[in-house]
Amino acid sequence: MHRPVLALALVAACAGLMLFPGAVAALEFVRARVLAGELWRLWSGHLVHATPRLAFVDLCVLALLGAWWERRSRVVFLAILGTSALFASLALLALTSFERYTGSSALGSGLFVATALALALEQRGGLRVLGAVLLALFAAKCVFEASGAQGALFAALPAGTLVAAAAHAAGGAGGALVVLLRQRRA
């Protein structure tokens, strides 16, 4: 079992970036800049947050579930983060008209779905049921967000901020893919 140093370092780095006013502009996902070749923004946009309030919720999820995954497997933890970020950013490009995106909610979605799916694949019945319930709740959250409802479930959104339902669903799909590929190898 690994100590969750990477998960905690990631959370600290994301929180620390909030102290630098230029960090968001330098790292956020900006459609035009990604399409112009600034491909790092496919990942870096998930490290910066528009407001401390949104960062708090995202980073709590990242710390808790990130630590759980890193203790199990550092490689799987990093694969979930990388795949979730990439899938979410590609979904933003292909499925939305969003010009900008910030926040680690898609990473949290990937970690959440990966955790729920890992539980659903366990041999013990209670964990399997819990995993299935968590997956159903995530699916319901995605449907709620995709319906156009603009209220956030866990944090009030600042005026003008939209929920990135496609990014959340795609981030979750990235987490699921990593767990399924890991399961297949086992």
Q: What is the pLDDT of residues 89-131, one digit of tens each?
A: 999 999 999 999 999 999 999 999 999 999 999 988 899 999 9
Report the chain's mean pLDDT, rounded to a whole number: 91
- Let me know the angle formed at the C-alpha of 7 by 103 and 61, rounded to the nearest 5 degrees: 50
Contact 51, 59 (CB under 8 A): no
Evaluate if residue 151 carries a pLDDT over 80. Answer: no
**Region of residue 141 (left: phi > 0; alpha: psi -120 to 50; beta: else):** alpha
> In this predicted structure, what is the pLDDT of residue 186?
66
29-45, pLDDT tens digit by residue?
999 999 999 999 999 99
> In this predicted structure, what is the pLDDT of residue 73?
95
Give the start-to-end residue ranges of the domains of the chain: 5-185
Evaluate if residue 149 carries a pLDDT over 70. Answer: no
**Banded model confidence at residue 184, pLDDT cuts 50, 70, 90:** confident
3-class DSSP assignment, residue 48: coil
Rg from Cα positions in the chain: 16
Task: Give the Cβ contact number of residue 15 at 10 Å.
Answer: 15
Query: CATH number of the domain at 5-185, out of 3.30.230.10, 3.40.190.10, 1.20.1540.10, 3.30.70.1560?
Result: 1.20.1540.10
Evaluate if residue 58 carries a pLDDT over 90. Answer: yes
> In this predicted structure, what is the pLDDT of residue 75?
97
